[in-house]
Amino acid sequence: MEFSNRRFWVLIGGAAVAIMLGCWLSSGTLAPYGTNEYGPCHYRVNVDHAQFSAVYAMLDGRPSAEWATSVVLRRILHPLLGFPLMKALGFEAGGVVLNILLHGVALVGFALAIRRYFDARAAVLVSWLFASYAGYAYWAGLPYSYAFIAPGSIACTISLLWWNDRPSLGRSLGAASVVGFIGLGYDLTPFFGGALLLMILLERRWVDLGAAIVVLGLWALFTARGIPAIFGFPALNSNTQTYGVIIHSWLHALQRLHGWGTLLRDVPHVFLSNFVFSGLIAFPLLLVWLIALRLRWRIRPVVGRVALCILLSTLAVFLFMNLAPPYDEAWQLRGTWIARLYQPWFVAVLVLVAATSVALRETPRYRLFFGSVVLAAVLGALTIVGPYVRFKTLYLVANQNFYQHFTLSKNSLWLRRLGLRPYGICR
């Protein structure tokens, strides 16, 4: 039975409220990415707080002495979108309000896209699953560009669905432009630019492939060189040069054989850990279960083209990082400590849920599928609100292994000492 338009909007509106509430509940003293106390309310911020506030200071036209040392100045889209709010409320409060609104808009936009390319029932199911996804909550309580990862991934996925609906040269250029533009907010181009190129390749649209590569390359060049030239800061820093170091290690692999074998032997364990914790437990379990169900029930394709290409592109990024020869010149972007690098693949699960919802509609198997999605949503929601409902273990384990920059014991201590006070509640 198809949803009425009114019922659709009531359910989508409820999911939008839920995701915005999740953002707020993950702020203040509950921000998982927070490592330091800040201000009179003792809210948590990250040790790199000044790195991110510097981007806003740069856009605000302040003297370069206030922002020139930041290593994330190229990520201008998030503070640019939030500039009016940050100007009116301050960087911290304005950034948190922006994140709350941004996630609500992303959910509604994605619901409309899923309704168009699948159907309304799939859109409602996917929206509530997205609202329970703990990955957005890790970043959304702090005013940093990382909070753009989930909304940016959603925007890129909508562009891929749009291209997949009716491939054409115009849509190839449009989708590549969307992915490139989103890259101004966070480094999502390798994931979704790679997925777009794979989709075009599978269609054997050679002219489209060349055009998309050019567009993505121009956007990458603008991000890497154009923005530094416009604002007057160095293009290379300790953050951006890491990727060059890894490429250099590949180009000189024969000179870096010592210790490479030990790193390679550890890759299967690293892959399993990164897979489970980059999706904060609930999404990886749901993905494996859905693939198993689709194989058993002979639903073809097992994974649709959009979801498959996102997963393959993410795997390519993982292999590039973790199979690389040894290097000591920069941060190690390999290992179990930084599973959060691969977060963008969560959207593949949302797309697969939508496709499975349509494929199993009006069959006895739908109940098992629906129950599985609800269970994953409950698990994700408990990860977000764990401290509030006295179920801290999942919250602590999932967030700690998503990004191992903070200890479980210290996180637990802070929750007890600082209390449960989202942004705006101070005592």
**10 located within any domain:** no
CA distances from 301 to 54, 183, 205, 306 (A): 47, 30, 21, 11
- When pLDDT is averaged across residues 208-234 and rounded to a whole number, the result is 96
Say how far apart CA 284 and CA 310 lie, in whole Å. 14
> How many structural domains does the chain have?
1
Window from 242-251, 270-279, 363-372 with minimum mean pLDDT: 242-251
Confidence grade of residue 1 (pLDDT, cut at 50, 70, 90): low
pLDDT at 266: 96
**326 located within any domain:** yes
**423 located within any domain:** no
| 58 contacts: CB under 8 Å, gap ≥ 6 | 64, 67, 70, 73, 231, 233
**305 located within any domain:** yes
- When pLDDT is averaged across residues 6-16 and rounded to a whole number, the result is 96
Give the model confidence (pLDDT) of 143-161 as tens digits: 999 999 999 999 999 999 9
**3 located within any domain:** no
Pairing state of beta strands 36-38 and 43-45?
antiparallel
- When pLDDT is averaged across residues 172-199 and rounded to a whole number, the result is 98
Inform me whether the pLDDT recorded for 407 exceeds 80.
no
Inform me whether the pLDDT recorded for 395 exceeds 60.
yes
Give the model confidence (pLDDT) of 17-43 as tens digits: 999 999 999 999 999 999 888 889 999
Q: Please report, rounded to a whole number, the percentage of residues in the chain having pLDDT higher than 70.
A: 100
- When pLDDT is averaged across residues 336-349 and rounded to a whole number, the result is 97
| 385 contacts: CB under 8 Å, gap ≥ 6 | 22, 25
**7 located within any domain:** no
Inform me whether the pLDDT recorded for 2 exceeds 70.
no
**288 located within any domain:** yes
CA angle 399, 402, 403 (to 5 degrees): 95
**387 located within any domain:** yes
Inform me whether the pLDDT recorded for 185 exceeds 60.
yes
Q: What pTM value is reported for the model?
A: 0.96
Q: Please report, rounded to a whole number, the percentage of residues in the chain having pLDDT higher than 90.
A: 89
pLDDT at 237: 87
**182: containing domain:** 18-418
- When pLDDT is averaged across residues 293-316 and rounded to a whole number, the result is 95
Nearest Cα residue to 352 out of 75, 108, 161: 161
pLDDT at 239: 83
Dihedral over Cα of 132, 279, 194, 199: its sign: negative
Say how far apart CA 410 and CA 412 lie, in whole Å. 5
Dihedral over Cα of 243, 248, 249, 253: its sign: positive
